[in-house]
Structure 1
């Protein structure tokens, strides 16, 4: 559900005293960087005095369209947790802020939803610093949809109007929206060359074309051998790691018995209409080894928080319409689902897969949809790719399918699309 935005109000009057305060704040920000010439690795994006003095109100920012670069001034009033929902206490993490013109605002429709960059979460995260509530701040970023509502992403600087300076985000010289793929091997960077510099639907389309080109489609019976390779226990040859339990089990102990492992489709077959067909039904980027009983319990449930303990899979929860895996693979699950939504766009007779904010859809309405988007986005942030997930991505690319999951290689592209 899209949040409605309030009508833009008149611009707040800028008194000479306020301008002087903001100029002083700029000086404090500059002082944080130290003297001397700034090297490339230390370069930061700082708010200029004119940008600080001319920062828009939240109401004005809400009225702008996506893509506008701006400075905005407002009060920290809470944390968005789902579309249309803002927490005012008991904050679950340090990932986001809700900004409003009034410190006592409680209507989400009058709030700008801010994605806090990795580098500033320890300073500006509400779980770590609940005392930030009510503080008036100035932020520099790009107006973008966030939690399905008006938001601010690619935040390059945050400063407190009360004079307390905070660090700014180190950025690439080409700007705060420049992709951060420099740590990838040259051949992988070249693989994504056509996606560089893109955002939103344009980026999603570019990635779709990249990961759908020259792809090897496996047969369903080939998955046993493939999974013994992609999900091999790095510490125990001949064994595989089950997705939901995390258990290391014999690679040849697969089949249909309760204590064996089978082929779990993270995007359920019945929710995609693809069954075991070559393509989405055999795509290793979302097929994982899973305990037979646990796989049966997951069934075709959506992903979301909550429910009661699953039983055989420790730290896993389920209720009548959703499944919450253990913390160690929450991000893995999110990136697999998001990959499927970009990879399969309705071609070849298969459903157009979309990540939905709804959970518990009736079966007739569920085809092509899987939720919950806001939860999966949060899981992606909370559990970044680890060595096992990256190695699995490499093996699928090099040995089996010839394509990659871009959200494992470039996690920042998730927020650039959603």
Structure 2
């Protein structure tokens, strides 16, 4: 009898069924390597909605039918993801189309390891639970705060109420000096394929991090919300907020000046697919959404309290004062150029390493329509 009990205890320890310090779940990488047909418990970050064997939506979610999990909250490589099929019992609570705030959360899934979309996955799910992020994986702040936690107080709000609450969430943050912006941009806008370079916003060129200054073909610090639209200059606050400061070619920056954003104009000779005229600037398609989301951020962050400017987006061009346009065009750009991995990584770096606040419209693209 004693021998049988010892054997049973040993078996439970091997299976992780006792409180023995044995990990009771698989990480996503381990789950990917587990044979089909195996009952599994997998824990990972929600990183999107799979819609094909090699494609995962990481913004503008189109369904509640499945989730992609990864060990890294910033993962963009589909081969490092596990697809979880959501049956009807779990869609209303965990589907990202209905619950976009769960993007970046950690969940633990019980089910059967089976391919989904011919990609490594989990089906026949019997349980999903939210887990607490106690580590420092880039999507959490002090105390293990996740992206979902960060926006918790804004849940269920729309219109001006949502705008006000998001302002409260992102308002207080560390402020950089204008000199500190140089080093910050070398980090936030680093070329993912060449760590010695930064990527320039309007041209897309990759050039040395240290070819910066005011000379032709160098890069400088572009205020995407032009600093004359509010006359905030380069003072700490709006003038040094790196959520809207980007490296740009000196001469291209000069041409853009303080123009509003809209479609049309003359093709710029140095910036591919970039157009401008006397009152507007149209950047290349690849960064239209980036520009729009930076402008939306500024209009929420700077609301006129505590002696700061009240920046607002106008649905026109040729604006002056603390206004910038054009709202309807920026909303179109936000839809046509969804959030990508470069933006998400940039947002994370600003949050964790520099300012301690986030751009809500990168984390929650749906907020744009809910406010404007």
The reply to whether TM is greater than 0.5 is yes
- Report the Cα offset of residue 226 of structure 1: 0.2
Distance in 2 separating the partners of 1:301 and 1:383: 21
C-alpha distance 325-387 of structure 1, shift in aligned 2 (>3 A): same
Q: Report the equivalent of 2:331.
A: 377
Q: Report the equivalent of 2:315.
A: 357
Distance in 1 separating the partners of 2:94 and 2:343: 30
C-alpha distance 175-388 of structure 1, shift in aligned 2 (>3 A): closer
> Does the 8 Å contact 1:316/1:324 carry over to 2?
yes
SS for the counterpart of 1:263 is strand
- Report the Cα offset of residue 260 of structure 1: 0.3
Q: Paired residues, what number?
A: 248
Match of 1:188 among 132, 135, 147: 147
Unaligned runs of 5+ in 1: 1-116, 121-169
> Does the 8 Å contact 1:243/1:290 carry over to 2?
yes
Aligned ranges 1:118-267 → 2 under 5 Å: 119=62, 172=92, 179-185=99-105, 187-213=146-172, 215-267=173-225
Q: Report the equivalent of 2:355.
A: 401
RMSD, aligned α-carbons? 2.1
> Does the 8 Å contact 1:178/1:197 carry over to 2?
no
Q: Report the equivalent of 1:269.
A: 227
CA displacement, residues 134-157 of structure 1 (integer Å, 9 cap, x when unaligned)? xxxxxxxxxxxxxxxxxxxxxxxx
- Report the Cα offset of residue 310 of structure 1: 1.2
Match of 1:285 among 243, 268, 273: 243
Aligned ranges 1:317-336 → 2 under 5 Å: 317-336=275-294
> Does the 8 Å contact 1:397/1:404 carry over to 2?
yes
Aligned ranges 1:86-105 → 2 under 5 Å: none
- Report the Cα offset of residue 349 of structure 1: 3.0
Unaligned runs of 5+ in 2: 1-59, 64-89, 107-145
> Does the 8 Å contact 1:355/1:369 carry over to 2?
yes
Match of 1:412 among 353, 359, 366: 366
Scaled by the length of structure 1, the TM-score of the pair is 0.57
Scaled by the length of structure 2, the TM-score of the pair is 0.64
